[in-house]
Structure 1
Amino acid sequence: MKPSESMTELLRAKIAASPRAAIPFRDYMNLCLYHETYGYYSRESVKVGKDGDFYTSVSIGTIMGEVLGSYFIRLAEELAESDSRVAIVEWGGGTGRLAALVLDTIARLHPELYARLDYTLIEISAYHRELQRQSLVGHARVRVMAEEEWTRAEKAAGGGSVSIIFSNELLDAFPVYRVERKDGDLYEWHVGWNEGERRFEERLLPLAPGSPAAVYMEEEGIAVREGQVIEVNPAASDWIRRAGDAIRIGALVTIDYGDVAEELYAAHRMRGTLMCYRRHRAADEPFDYPGEQDMTAHVNFTACIRAGEAAGFAEWSLRTQKRFLLEEGALELLVPHDGTDPFSAEARRNRAVRQLLISDQMSELFKVLVQTKKR
C-alpha cells in the first residue's frame, strides 16, 4: 500500500470513529504532517531543493547561514560575559544544512566563542535527526534530540548559559484551526469523507465557545468578516511561551512567513493564507495528496509578540527578512570579480545575495522577530 493510501485509510478511520463523522481541520493537518509513520515530515524523502517540494532561503547558497552566524556572534557579545558558555538551540533544523553553515561561520569569525558554544537541534522527525547528525559530524558539542529530551536536560543543567533559540520556517507548519463566518455565524472547519467522490472535504460545524480557536480569537481580538476564512494558530503562541520559559538571559529569533494581525485578517484576505506545496507547485487544496504535500499558514506575529511579552521578553524587533539581511551585512558578502563565467563560485555567490534580496518577494513575505531578555 502506498504511503498516501495508508494515510487516507488512517484518516478515514479517525473520521468514522468521530460521533460527528468529521474531525477538526487542525487534527487533519497534524496527522498529514506529523504522523510518526505516514506524516509528510516523518517520511524518508527529500523535501527541500530541486528534488523536493519547495525551496527555502537556506537552499539559496550559503548567505542565510553566514548572516545568521555573524548575527549570533553579535548577540552573544551583547548578552554574554566574555568567558561564559553560550547555547544556540535550533528548532526544526531539517537536514542540518543551516546549522552547519552557522557553526562554520562562527568557527571562522570567532573561534573563541566557538570553543565555548553548545549547539542543540530540536527535531520531531527521527529521519531528520539522523540527517542532522550526519551533516554535523565534524562539529564538537552538538546535540540532536527531541523537545522532551532537551527540556529534561535543561532542567538538569539549571539553565546557566546565555541562550539563543531560533527557528527558520517552523511556526508556519504548525497545525491550524480554520474558522469561517457564514450567514452571520462562526463555524470551525472539520474534515469529512465524501464516499461518492472518494475524497476528503470540509464540513462546517458551529464554533464552540471555549474551544481553543474561540479562546485564541477572543484573546487576540480577531474579527471575522462575512464569508471570510481565517487560520488560528495557538500552537505558535504556546511555542513562544515554552521557549521564553527556557531562556533566562538570551534571545528568541523567529524567521517565518507571516505578518501582523491587521494584515493577516484584512478584507483582501478572504480565504486565509493556507497553502500546500508539492513538487514545486503551490495550491490551496489541503485535501489533495494527504501526507505527501507540505501545508503552511502565515504566522500571526502580533500574537507571537504578545506571547513573548507574557514570557518575560522585555525587548523585541520585527523586520522583513530583506531588511534583516541588509542591516546584518548581506551586501558585505558580495565578492568583486571580473570573470565572465556565470557558473563561477563568485558569480554564484553574488547571484545568491541578489536572489535572497529581490527575487520572488521571499524576503518581503518572510519576517524576522527577535525577542530578548537581558541581565
Structure 2
Amino acid sequence: MYGSVEDVIRSSIQKQGQITFAEFMEKALYWPGGGYYTKGSPIGFSGDYYTSPSTHPIFGALIAVQLFQMWQLMGRPKPFTIVEVGSGNGLLMRDLTQYLQYLPEGFSNNVEYVCVDKGEQNKTGRSTNRQSRSYSDIAEYQGQGIEGCVLSNELIDSFPVHRLQMKKGILRELYVTLRDGVFVEEEGALSTQELSDHFNQLGIKLNDGHVFEVNLNVSRWIKDVSQMLKRGYVITVDYGGMAGDIYSESNGQGTLTCFYRHVQTNNPYLHIGNQDITSQVNYTMLTKYGLGQGFVNKAYLSQREFLTNLGLPYFLKRLQALDTDYRTKLANRFSMLNLVSPEGFGEFKVLIQSKNVSNVELWCRKLGFEEMPILRELPMPMLTASHMPLLEGKYPHVGLELSDTWM
C-alpha cells in the first residue's frame, strides 16, 4: 500500500515510463483516500479557495428563484428533481433548499434534491435532509428519466485534462515523467485520436509553441446528463469562455491553474494531493456536445448578468433599508458584491441548456426582473456562520474606520 497519492503517481510512471497529464490530474485530485477532493472540503479560510455558495446565500437563493420558474414552465412536475453534481460540503444545497420554502405554490414540497460528489464515497444514498440524498457519482445514483434540473458550480474546471502543444503545425501531447526523481514534462505523439478529433472541431489556428488543454470528459459528461434527464434544464456555472478566448494568444501557455492555501501556484507538481488543479471551461465544446445530445442553448451569460437579472440589485436595496447594525449590513453587502464584481466571481459564465421543454425566455435573461412582485414576498438572505466572513478577512477593523458610504 502506498503512503500518498504522489507515491501512487510515481509508481505508475516507473511502470509505464510516462503518463498523460490527464492521468496525473485524475490521481492527484480523485485517488480514493489521498486525492485532493477525497480528503474533505477544501473550501474556506482553512482550505485553499472559496466559492460563490460560500460567499453569500443570495447565490443559492436566486438560483432557487430561477428553478421555480423552470418548474412552472415544465407544468409543475412532482417530483421536480434537482441533481447537484460536485456538491462538495453541501452549502449550496442547504442555502437553496432552505430558500425553496419561501417560494409560492408549494414548490418546496415538490422538490427532490440529489447531491453527487466524489467525497461522498462510502456514503451511498445517505440522506442529508428530508429532501435530499447523496451519492459519489452519477452512475451510482442511477437516476434516469428524471424531470428537473442538473446543476453544477465549479465542477467541469476540475475534470482531468490532456495537455497539448502545437509544434511546427503538428499536435504533440505533453506527458508526465520522472527525471532524477523530479516530475518533468516531455512531448510525444497523441495518446488517443479523440484529441485530434476534438481539436479539429474547434476550427481555430494556434501559433507554434502554443500550449493548451483538452477536456475529453466534457462529451462523456453531457452524455451522462442526457441519459439521466428526460425533461428539464442543465445549469452550469464555472470560469472559462468560448474557444476563441480560451485558446487566444494571451493563453499561450494554457489555462491550467493551481490553488494552495488561497495562493495561486500554477505548478501542478507541487503539493500533490494537497492543492487544487483546474483549467478554464471551453463553453464552445460544452454547447456543441449538448446540441448533439438534443439540448437547446437557453442562456449563456456572465454570473454578474445572471444574478443581476434575477434581482440582486433589489436585494441590495432591501439590505440597505434593513433594521440591523451597520457592520452586519456592510459584511453582507461586501459579500454580495463579490459575487458580481470582476475581481470576484462576476466574470464566471452561466450556461443554461434545456431538453424537451417550452421555448419561453428565462427570468435570468430579463433585465428589470427585480421589479417583479415575487421578489417582494421573499425574505432577505443573510450571511451565516457557514459562509466566508470575507469582509473581516480583508478589513479586520471594519465598523471602526470604514466609511458609511454604500455606493
Q: Is TM > 0.5 for Structure 1 vs Structure 2?
A: yes
Residue 143 (str. 1) matches residue 133 (str. 2): yes
Misfit runs of 4+, over 3 Å: 127-130, 337-342
Alignment partner of 1:360 out of 340, 343, 347: 343
Alignment partner of 2:183 out of 184, 193, 200: 200
CA separation of 1:104/1:189 partners in 2, compared to 1, >3 Å: closer, same or farther?
A: same
Residue 174 (str. 1) matches residue 159 (str. 2): yes
Between the aligned partners of 1:267 and 1:359, the Cα distance in structure 2 is 21
CA deviations 1:184-236 (Å, max 9, x no partner) are 432101101122xx32111111225x533222112333433201101000112
Between the aligned partners of 1:39 and 1:250, the Cα distance in structure 2 is 33
Q: Secondary structure at the match of 1:47?
A: coil
Return 351-360 or 21-30, whichever deviates more. Answer: 351-360
Alignment partner of 2:199 out of 212, 217, 221: 217
Matched to 2:102, the amino acid is R
TM-score (ref. length: structure 2): 0.81
Confirm or deny: 8 A CA contact 2:29 2:36 kept in the other structure.
Answer: yes
CA deviations 1:99-136 (Å, max 9, x no partner) are 01110111122361111111111112236969x968x4
Alignment partner of 2:320 out of 310, 333, 336: 336
Between the aligned partners of 1:133 and 1:239, the Cα distance in structure 2 is 23
Between the aligned partners of 2:212 and 2:19, the Cα distance in structure 1 is 18
Confirm or deny: 8 A CA contact 1:94 1:128 kept in the other structure.
Answer: no
Matched to 1:22, the amino acid is Q
Confirm or deny: 8 A CA contact 1:241 1:310 kept in the other structure.
Answer: no
Between the aligned partners of 2:169 and 2:197, the Cα distance in structure 1 is 19
Matched to 1:30, the amino acid is E
Between the aligned partners of 1:212 and 1:37, the Cα distance in structure 2 is 30
Matched to 2:155, the amino acid is L
Confirm or deny: 8 A CA contact 2:120 2:134 kept in the other structure.
Answer: no
CA separation of 1:205/1:270 partners in 2, compared to 1, >3 Å: closer, same or farther?
A: same
Between the aligned partners of 2:123 and 2:86, the Cα distance in structure 1 is 9
Matched to 2:189, the amino acid is P
**Long gaps (5+) in structure 1:** none
Counterpart for residue 43 of structure 1:
39
Residue 369 (str. 1) matches residue 369 (str. 2): no
Confirm or deny: 8 A CA contact 1:213 1:232 kept in the other structure.
Answer: yes
CA separation of 1:296/1:83 partners in 2, compared to 1, >3 Å: closer, same or farther?
A: closer
Q: Secondary structure at the match of 1:73?
A: helix
Between the aligned partners of 1:26 and 1:120, the Cα distance in structure 2 is 28
Between the aligned partners of 1:314 and 1:183, the Cα distance in structure 2 is 38
Residue 270 (str. 1) matches residue 265 (str. 2): no
Counterpart for residue 60 of structure 2:
65
Residue 240 (str. 1) matches residue 222 (str. 2): yes
Counterpart for residue 173 of structure 2:
188
Counterpart for residue 252 of structure 1:
234
Matched to 1:220, the amino acid is L
Counterpart for residue 289 of structure 1:
271
Counterpart for residue 294 of structure 2:
312
CA separation of 1:67/1:340 partners in 2, compared to 1, >3 Å: closer, same or farther?
A: closer
Identity of aligned pairs, percent?
A: 28
Residue 122 (str. 1) matches residue 105 (str. 2): no
Q: Secondary structure at the match of 2:184?
A: strand
Between the aligned partners of 1:279 and 1:26, the Cα distance in structure 2 is 23
Between the aligned partners of 2:206 and 2:212, the Cα distance in structure 1 is 7
Counterpart for residue 84 of structure 1:
78
TM-score (ref. length: structure 1): 0.88
Counterpart for residue 327 of structure 1:
309
Alignment partner of 1:12 out of 1, 10, 13: 10
Shift of 1:359: 5.3
Counterpart for residue 33 of structure 1:
29
Residue 74 (str. 1) matches residue 69 (str. 2): yes
Confirm or deny: 8 A CA contact 2:171 2:196 kept in the other structure.
Answer: no
Confirm or deny: 8 A CA contact 1:43 1:127 kept in the other structure.
Answer: no
Shift of 1:343: 2.7
**Long gaps (5+) in structure 2:** 359-407
CA deviations 1:263-310 (Å, max 9, x no partner) are 111122101100000000002111111111000000000100011111
Between the aligned partners of 1:88 and 1:126, the Cα distance in structure 2 is 17
Q: How many residues align?
A: 354
Confirm or deny: 8 A CA contact 2:257 2:279 kept in the other structure.
Answer: yes
